[in-house]
Amino acid sequence: MQALDTRLSQLAHRRRTLPERTALAEREQRSAALRDDVVRARTAASDVEREVARAERDVDQVRQRATRNQTRLDSGAVSAKDAAALVSELESLARRQSALEEVELEVMERQELAQTSLVGLEQLLAEVDAEAEQARAALETAVTEVDRDVESVRADRERVAAAVGDELLDLYEASRREHGGLGAAPLRARRCEGCRMEQDAMSIGRLRDAPEDAVLRCEECERILVRTPESGL
């Protein structure tokens, strides 16, 4: 019974500490972090997109103004003085346009970088999410295996419990509560396997002479002591 209970706590511990659980937690953490990165990258990309639109608008305005001036100039319906002013403004507009086009180019380069970074992060996130999905399935399989073992050990335990009888079972359960889950221990080479203490000569005599169905306790720790062929009695 104690062996089965020990096995059950081992299985419970195993269920809690399955490596598949850690693997899944890592993927989920990574995925959450990447999701934040993707949101940030998406915001950055749309910010740059707005910058590009603004830069395009700026260039367009200057270009339209230059076209208007050029059309007026080409019409010939302007005085010499106005023509001189228009030419001078056209020159300044050309300088302004080329400066704005440089800005536009720089912003477009940044837009490309932002887009590349976003696409890369989205790809990475998809990969990590796929890995997490696999890890989740692996964990489920591992848990199912442990649960199957637990069920089989529980069935064994029920059979043993029926054979042990209520009175001894209560004693055993009380001893287990008192001794951190280890309520009964075998006596091996005159040593209690519960507290590792060697039994003194008087106890050994008592243990040896007790009837086969007597419930014995360790003198040191008071755990139920089970005699075995290796007890050294």
Burial class (CB in 10 A: 0-12, 13-18, 19+), 185: buried
Packing angle of the helix pair 19-75, 80-164 (nearest 10 deg): 170
Q: Does 218 bind Zn ion (CB under 5 A)?
A: yes
In this chain, which stretch among 70-78, 122-130, 199-207, 221-229 interacts with Zn ion, using CB under 5 A? 221-229
198: β partners: 191
The pairs formed by 208-214 with CB atoms below 8 angstroms and a separation of 24 or more are 208/233
End-to-end CA distance of the chain: 23
Closest CB 24 distance from Zn ion, rounded Å: 41
Contact characters 163-182, Zn ion, x per CB under 5 A: --------------------
Residue closer to Zn ion (CB basis): 218 or 226: 218
CB of 157 to Zn ion, least distance (A): 23
Classify residue 26 as exposed, middle or buried by CB count within 10 Å of its CB (0-12, 13-18, 19+): middle
Positions 84 through 143 that interact with Zn ion (CB under 5 A): none
Which residue carries 């890592």 as its tokens?
26
Q: By CB under 5 A, which span of 15-23, 51-59, 110-118, 216-224 interacts with Zn ion?
A: 216-224
CB contact at 8 A, 207 and 231: yes
Cα gap 5→19, rounded to integer Å = 23
Told to check if 187 binds Zn ion by CB under 5 A, we report no
Site string for Zn ion, 193-212 (x = CB under 5 A): -xx-----------------
CB of 165 to Zn ion, least distance (A): 23
- Piece of the chain touching Zn ion by CB under 5 A; list 1-9, 74-82, 89-97, 192-200: 192-200
- Site residues, Zn ion (CB under 5 A): 192, 194-195, 218, 220-221
